[in-house]
Structure 1
Amino acid sequence: MPASTVTVRRGRKYDQVLKGAREVFLRDGFEGASVDDISRAAGVSKATLYSYFPDKRLLFMEMASTQCRMQADEALVTIDLSQPPQVVLPQVGRTFLGFLLSEMGQRVFRICVAESDRFPELGAEFYRCGPMRMHREVKRYLGEAQARGEIRVEDSGLAADQFTELCKADLWSKFVFGVQTSFSEAEIGRVVDGAVTTFLARYGARPD
C-alpha cells in the first residue's frame, strides 16, 4: 500500500516515536535505518511503532514534514510580515537558508534525492512541506507589499521563486556537489543581502 494512502495515528507516544525516527534516519539514512533501531531509539516496542506507522516511508515523511512545518511556524512567529520588504526579505532569506543548509535540511534533502527513483513520494512530500510552503508564504507577502505600494510585481508567484533562487546563489551549488557542507553566518548574510539588493532593484517601488 502506498505510504500516502495510510493515515497516521496520533497518540501519547507519537512525539516519542518521531524523535527516535529523526535520530536514526539522519544518522543512517532511509535505507540504512532499521525498525529495530528506531524503536530502540524511541524507547517503544516494535508493535507500538507499527501501530503508529505501519510503513517506514510513512514514518520518514512524517518526520521530515513535521520538521519542515516546525521551521516554517517558527519563522512566521519571528518575522513581522507587516514590515516593508527591506526588513522582511533579509529575514525570510536567512530563515530559508538557515534550514536548507542546516544539518537537518541537508540530510533530509540527500535522503530524498537518494530514494527519489524508488520512492518519489518522499521527495514530493518534502517539497510540499518545505519549498512549496516557503513559496506560498513569500508569494502572499509580496502580494500584500504590492497592495501597500512597496513593490511593483506583476507575477508574485514568479517573483517569489526568483527571490528564493537568488538566496541559493553560490552556496547551494557548493552543497549539492559536496564542495562545502558548513556555512558561516557571514557567508549566508553576503548571499542574502545580495539577493535582496538584486530583487529590489528589479521590483522595488519607484517614484512616478
Structure 2
Amino acid sequence: MAEVKGTTIRRGRKFGQVLEGARMVFLRDGYEGASVDAIAQQAGVSKATLYSYFPDKRLLFLEASKSECARQTEEAQQTLSPETPAPEMLRFVAEKIIEFISSDFGQALFRIGVAEAARFPEIGREFYQSGPMLLRERLGEYLRAAAERGELAIGDFDLAADQFASLCCADIQDRLLYGVSRRISKAEAKRVIDAALEMFLARYGVRAE
C-alpha cells in the first residue's frame, strides 16, 4: 500500500483495472469533468470498489497521470531511436511536450501537483518524478548519445534537457494555466517549436566544417 500523510492507496487485484479506467476517463473528460461514476463504469467496477482503492479523486488522478506519463514515454522511445538526428528527435520531443501541456489532462496535472505539494510533499515529489524528472532522464539519455557521436556539444545533460523543455513551454504554458488562452493553434505551436530548436541548436549544435 502507498501512504500519503494518512491517506492510503490500496493495491489489489483490480487496482490496474481501476487505474486504466481512470486514465481513459481523465484523458477524455479532464479532471473536473471526470466523475467517479464514469470512472467506475469505464473500469467495470462498483464505486465502492473504486473508493476502496482510491479514497480521494486527486490521488486517483495523480496515479493515473503517472501511468499516462510512463505510457507516453514508452511510446516515444519506440517511435524514434537514439540514432535519430538531433533536429528530428528534438522536434518530435517538442511536439509531444506541447501536446501534453496544451491538453486539459496536462494542465490539470500541473495545477493539482503544484497545489498539493505544499500540503503533501510526497505527492509533489511523485508528480515531479513521473513528469519533469522522467522527461529529463529520457531526453538526457538521448542528448548524451547525440553528443557521443559528435552531433551535439553538451557538458551538463540534465541542464540541457531542462532548458529544452522550458523553451518548448515558452509563451504557451503560462497563457493556458492563467486562462489567457483556451487552446493553442498549430501555427502557434510551430512558432514556439521552431524557435526552441533554433535557440537550442545554436547553443549546443556542432557545425560541420
State the TM bucket, normalised to the shorter chain.
Answer: 0.7 to 0.9
Q: Distance in 2 between matches of 1:106 and 1:55?
A: 19
Pick one of 22, 25, 32 that aligns with 1:23. Answer: 25
User: Match of 1:145?
Assistant: 146
Q: CA deviation at 1:35?
A: 5.9
8 Å CA contact 2:25–2:38 kept in 1: the answer is no
Q: Could you say if the C-alpha distance between residues 194 and 80 of structure 1 is closer, same or farther in structure 2, counting changes exceeding 3 Å?
A: same
Asked if 1:106 is matched to 2:107, the reply is: yes
Q: Distance in 1 between matches of 2:90 and 2:70?
A: 20
Q: Distance in 1 between matches of 2:41 and 2:85?
A: 49
Q: Could you say if the C-alpha distance between residues 136 and 158 of structure 1 is closer, same or farther in structure 2, counting changes exceeding 3 Å?
A: same
Q: Could you say if the C-alpha distance between residues 199 and 193 of structure 1 is closer, same or farther in structure 2, counting changes exceeding 3 Å?
A: same
Equivalent position amino acid for 2:32 in 1:
D
User: Match of 1:79?
Assistant: 80
User: Match of 2:63?
Assistant: 62
Q: Distance in 2 between matches of 1:35 and 1:88?
A: 38
Q: Could you say if the C-alpha distance between residues 45 and 84 of structure 1 is closer, same or farther in structure 2, counting changes exceeding 3 Å?
A: same
Q: Could you say if the C-alpha distance between residues 2 and 185 of structure 1 is closer, same or farther in structure 2, counting changes exceeding 3 Å?
A: same
Q: Distance in 2 between matches of 1:9 and 1:40?
A: 19
Structural RMSD (CA): 2.9
Q: Distance in 2 between matches of 1:127 and 1:148?
A: 30
8 Å CA contact 1:26–1:107 kept in 2: the answer is yes
SS in 2 for 1:83: coil
Select between 196-205 and 47-56 the one with higher mean Cα deviation: 47-56
Output the TM-score relative to the length of structure 1: 0.82
Equivalent position amino acid for 2:30 in 1:
L
User: Match of 1:14?
Assistant: 16
Output the TM-score relative to the length of structure 2: 0.82
Superposed CA deviations along residues 120-170 of structure 1, whole A, max 9, x for unmatched, are 333322221111111111111111111100011111111111111111111
Equivalent position amino acid for 2:96 in 1:
T
User: Match of 2:131?
Assistant: 130
Q: Distance in 1 between matches of 2:75 and 2:59?
A: 24
User: Match of 2:176?
Assistant: 175
Q: Distance in 2 between matches of 1:9 and 1:135?
A: 28
Q: Could you say if the C-alpha distance between residues 58 and 110 of structure 1 is closer, same or farther in structure 2, counting changes exceeding 3 Å?
A: closer
SS in 2 for 1:152: coil
Q: Distance in 2 between matches of 1:26 and 1:40?
A: 16
Q: Distance in 2 between matches of 1:192 and 1:165?
A: 11
Q: Distance in 2 between matches of 1:138 and 1:34?
A: 35
Q: Could you say if the C-alpha distance between residues 8 and 78 of structure 1 is closer, same or farther in structure 2, counting changes exceeding 3 Å?
A: farther
8 Å CA contact 1:3–1:58 kept in 2: the answer is no
SS in 2 for 1:115: helix
8 Å CA contact 1:14–1:52 kept in 2: the answer is no
Q: Matched residues, percent identical?
A: 44
Q: Could you say if the C-alpha distance between residues 144 and 17 of structure 1 is closer, same or farther in structure 2, counting changes exceeding 3 Å?
A: closer
Segments of 5+ residues of structure 1 without an aligned counterpart are: none
Q: Distance in 2 between matches of 1:104 and 1:195?
A: 23
